[in-house]
Structure 1
Amino acid sequence: MPDILSVRPNLRGRFLGATLLFLLVAGAPLQAQARPARTLVSVNPLGLPFKYVSAELEQKTNTFATVGLSASFINIGDGSYASLEGKLRLYPNEEAFQGFSIGLGAGLTRVSEDVYNGNTQSDENRSNTSPTIAVIADYNWMLGKTKRVVVGTGVGAKRIFGDSDGFSDVNFAYPTARFQVGVVF
């Protein structure tokens, strides 16, 4: 039985043209779709005037959860805190990086304090590095046409499991606050 495309050459051109048109039209939406965001990198832009530095790296594990790493340093009076933590955040709205999240953190915090013995200069610097746990509640907004810019705020509490003896101006359980600006890619 002869092939229909070989019998009618005019039909062959139409068939090839229709196939080419279909591939062009069907492929256009695939090129326009952005790759889903999997990683968030953010920093605290307000930290410099307040002697506070923080940065976060967050990786989406599925639609409702992320794991991440957070590093921060704050200098308050005669004391300072330097912290490195791993974090797990759950997004109840099932849109990771977007909206409300609750989470847990665990890591290490180095607490330092200058000690004065009646002088105006520090006589000694005490420090202690100890494990920590934290609870966090955050809210992120994804901004822009492509939803790649993130502004986030949050509150929480942290507990340092260390020896507070000898420290006078340093708290080993304290509230935390978060303000981050970053990008997802």
Structure 2
Amino acid sequence: MTKLILRDVEIHKGFLDRTAQGELLDAVRGVVAAAPLFQPDTPYGKPMSVRMSSAGRYGWFSDRSGYRYADRHPSGAPWPPVPEAILAIWDQVTGLARRPDCCLINYYGEGARMGLHQDRDEADFAWPVVSVSLGDPGLFRVGNPTRGGKTESVWLESGDVVVLGGPARLVYHGVDRIKFGAGSLLPRGGRINLTLRVVD
């Protein structure tokens, strides 16, 4: 495992070995069985290219009314709890006693991407955001605390963990593309990104 710093963003390369990745994938599948993936719309009425679900007290949601957290899946069912295997990653990389309220699950299929954005729907930006990559590599782009300017990119591989905290908490970031089918963890290809956040 190696630790990179890209514009104050911590990138823990190879944080999870293949066995740990498989165990985490099983935990994610359990969540998705209870809260199936769905494809939200942006506030502008366009469907997002990723499909998503969540675990925890809150789930992240988007539609024409805007971006926000919701306490229930679109089906009306409560979100399942965050699996302990996922929470353990938060514990290890942050060292914080406070645990996240939400684990957002994004699935990137062929051609999916995530434009540059800030994670700013939370109440207190003093808490970090932790991101876990599983499956196909994704080209992660990091910008600045304000929109515009130069950016830098790095390929995130399956098992990598990213921490956006401190001066990097509100940097613009996104995923430009994935190498669909290049990984071996997901038999049908694709990338799963888990994002852990303190909401309240």
TM-score under structure 1 length normalisation: 0.23
TM-score under structure 2 length normalisation: 0.22
The structure with more radius of gyration: 1
- Identify the structure with bigger relative contact order (alpha carbons < 8 Å, sequence gap 6+): 2
Where is the strand percentage greater, Structure 1 or Structure 2? Answer: 1
